[in-house]
Amino acid sequence: MKILVAGSGGREHAILWRLSQDEEKHELYAAPGNAGTASIAVNLPVGAEDIAGITAWAEKERPDLVVVGPEAPLVAGLVDALAAKGIPAFGPVAAGARMEGSKRFAKEIMKAAGVPTGRAETFTDAAAAKAALAGYSLPVVIKADGLAAGKGVVVAETRAEAEKAIDDMLVGNKFGDAGAEVLVEEFLDGEECSILAMTDGETVVLLPSSQDHKRVFDGDKGPNTGGMGAYSPAPVVTDGMLPEIKEKIILPVVRELRRRGVVYRGILYAGLMITPEGGRIAASGSRVNVVEFNARFGDPETEAVLPRLGGNFAKALLHAATGSLDEADIVVKDCVAATVIAASAGYPGAYEKGRKISGLGADGGSTVVFHCGTKAGADGVVTAGGRVLSVTGTGATLREAVDAAYARLAGISFEGMFYRRDIAHRAFERQEAK
């Protein structure tokens, strides 16, 4: 198949890598890709958000499938534009991508579908938002309504912190239009996990569970990031929970969107909070609640989930994109995967680019290095982002997978590189407790 993947991060590299593992050999393209994707695909000088540019290329080259990686082009209508030209695309149309593009809209859909989630109110006026804080226990969550690159969420431990977050978004315009509307939301107690569900608008197939590490430093300290590592499966999600997640969370949302005339095709990513026995039960009364929905593969969850998938990946994506997905399209291998992000000094704040990366070498054995923010420099590969590399290890056990990732990471370096050294700590703590 001839396939274009739109995007330039670790997620897109992982998608292209997994497509390259299919027994059937595909003709792969990336728009714009990075230094890593260049080894398995043709990088095009077209940005992922250049809807006109991607559509023009697709109309001329007629790929069998376009896979849209990031959320911004989905929200902006890239899939709609491709559909108008008769090009199959994996990802929701703009009306469906609002599940990620507007947290207010996602809450509205969840309420209509009866999906358990935290109680929340939406505001455009800072004074009204601050007044509403009196109705919430601490900590309380303040969220920018729109896309804020994973950084528009503040878990406020005090009322003063909550008020500052509201002012930053509504008065200080910290996130631009994305923060023109804010949600004041109930804090959910428990352990987070991610479920990526593939759907053709009717059939839903759950991919393996995973758990992301949002905070920048060990011990879940410091500010939120786009993700510092992930592992799959997440033991907090038991096999017994999966039917409930599918029947009470994913399918109701897909059906509610369809009832409104939106056929949602692609990945519906549910960020869940699992409340343990004895934890504070949410207003919904459920121990499994939705924290957020995303409209695409997660990053870095994708780098941990895709190495666990067997079968013909391209076929599964195409079937979802064209309304013919079947349970049999998804094959899960009996292994565990863990990925660790190597980041630039200063991330998630300001950071420098152009640092030469050493030790990349060739992938093989139980590890693979996905490029998140890199480009080809005059004397090799250099850094070009805050999250630079995603190093994934696989194994029969979580310990094997984590050790493989860290062993591979130990041979890689660039000036200012840092990474968390406790990826999967919750799973190991759970094992020790047993």
Query: What is the residue-averaged pLDDT of the chain?
Result: 96
Local confidence band at 434 (pLDDT 50, 70, 90 cut-offs): confident
pLDDT of residue 379: 86
pLDDT of residue 326: 95
Q: 336-433: which CATH topology?
A: Glycinamide Ribonucleotide Synthetase; Chain A, domain 4 (3.90.600)
Q: How confident is the model at residue 339 (pLDDT cuts 50, 70, 90)?
A: very high
> Rounded to whole angstroms, how far apart are CA atoms 303 and 409?
15
Q: What average pLDDT does range 329-357 have in this prediction?
A: 97
**For residues 67 and 89, is the Cβ–Cβ distance under 8 A?**
yes
Question: Which of 190, 166, 194 minimizes the C-alpha distance to 180?
Answer: 166
> According to the model, what pLDDT value does residue 363 have?
76
Q: In this predicted structure, what is the pLDDT of residue 149?
A: 73
Domain locations along the chain: 2-92, 125-180, 188-332, 336-433
Single out the residue of 257, 210, 224 nearest to residue 110, CA to CA.
257
Yes or no: domain 125-180 corresponds to CATH 1.10.10.10: no
Long-range residue pairs from 213-220, CB within 8 A, at least 24 positions apart, any chain: 213/420, 213/423, 214/150, 216/343, 216/347, 216/348, 216/420, 217/420, 218/420, 218/421, 218/422, 219/422, 219/425
Looking at the predicted structure, is the pLDDT value of residue 80 above 90? Answer: yes
Q: Is the dihedral of CA 152, 153, 158, 162 positive or negative?
A: positive
Q: Which has the closest alpha carbon to 4: 85, 100, 75?
A: 85
The rounded distance, in Å, linking the Cα atoms of 9 and 305 is 16
The set of residues, in sequence order, having a beta carbon less than 8 Å from that of 89 and lying 6+ positions away, is 65, 66, 67, 68, 78, 79, 82, 83, 321
Q: Per CATH, which fold does 2-92 belong to? A: Rossmann fold (3.40.50)
Torsion angle in degrees (nearest 10) through CA of 310, 293, 118, 131: 150
Give the CATH fold of the 188-332 domain. D-amino Acid Aminotransferase; Chain A, domain 1 (3.30.470)
User: What's the pLDDT score for residue 430?
Assistant: 87
For residues 88-109, average pLDDT: 97
Paired tokens of 353: 């680019």
Fill in the DSSP letter of residue 187: P
- The pLDDT tens digits for 135-191 are 999 999 999 999 887 778 899 999 999 999 999 999 999 999 989 999 999 999 999
Whether residue 381 contacts residue 360, with contact meaning beta carbons closer than 8 Å, is answered with yes
* Residue 364 pLDDT greater than 80, yes or no: no
Q: What percent of the chain has pLDDT over 70?
A: 100
> What percent of the chain stands above pLDDT 90?
91
Backbone torsion region of residue 114, taken as left when φ is above 0, otherwise alpha when ψ lies between -120 and 50, otherwise beta: left
Residue 82 has pLDDT above 80, yes or no: yes
pLDDT at 47: 97
Nearest by Cα to 405 from 300, 333, 296: 300
